[in-house]
Amino acid sequence: MIGVSALLAAVFVVDSVVGLGLARRWALFPSTLVRAFETLRADPGAAAAWATVGSVWTSVLVHADLGHLASNVAFFWFFGTLLAQIAGNRWVVATFLLTSLSSGLAFVVQQTQGGAGGAVIGTSGAISGVAGLYVLLAFRWDVPDAHAWPLARPIPPAQAALVGVLAAAMDVYMLRQGLASGVAFAAHVGGFAGGLVLGALLTTFYPTWERFQRSPLGSRVGA
């Protein structure tokens, strides 16, 4: 979590100081991505099209302003800490990467169906995925109380998970009401859904937390 947060901060600082324009160059543009997929269907070796597909991940590294970055890092720190405590650091990073994809594709589908021409940047979709995985694990496994700074004391996992559920519910409500307000709610929902799917798969193979801890996938929990 420290490494990911430091990377996000470094990208923002370098881009702000040097003026590379990464917020636009690395953004995810739905229409461009759709064209890239069409190109790859005809020519799977098209390097430029694959580079465009990479915007699904580059877009999560850039932010519009300092407030955007700070709020995302704070949310990531909270749920990333909680997920790391029960699943390990590798699952935090893996979930971040996988739900970057689900959040990006959800945004593309929403924008394409609505005929909009927006773009998305920021880690909020991937972070929603981290929250989604923690929520499902907290409800299906018997895990320790959640403890993450700045919590004054550990709290029951269900209470921590409720924060993620309420945030996701608000995203769904805002999306259904069409209240965009410059926020990619579809990306949030797609990321959260991706986290839930990962959690469903994980708890299917490992019905209990103790069984997960004894497995190769959970061997480094707490490391």
- pLDDT given for residue 1 in this prediction: 81
d(CA 36, CA 137): 35
- pLDDT given for residue 98 in this prediction: 96
What does the pLDDT look like over 12-46, one tens digit per residue? 999 989 888 898 899 999 989 999 999 999 988 88
d(CA 103, CA 125): 5
Query: pLDDT confidence of 223, banded at 50, 70, 90?
Result: very low
At position 207, the amino acid (one-letter code) is: P
Judge whether residue 56 has pLDDT over 50.
yes
- pLDDT given for residue 219 in this prediction: 66
Q: What is the mean pLDDT of residues 151-180?
A: 85
- Whether the model clears a pTM of 0.85, i.e. scores above it, the answer is yes
Query: pLDDT confidence of 130, banded at 50, 70, 90?
Result: very high
d(CA 49, CA 59): 16
User: SS3 of 146, please?
Assistant: strand
User: SS3 of 129, please?
Assistant: helix
User: Which residue, chain included where needed, has tokens 């040097």?
Assistant: 18
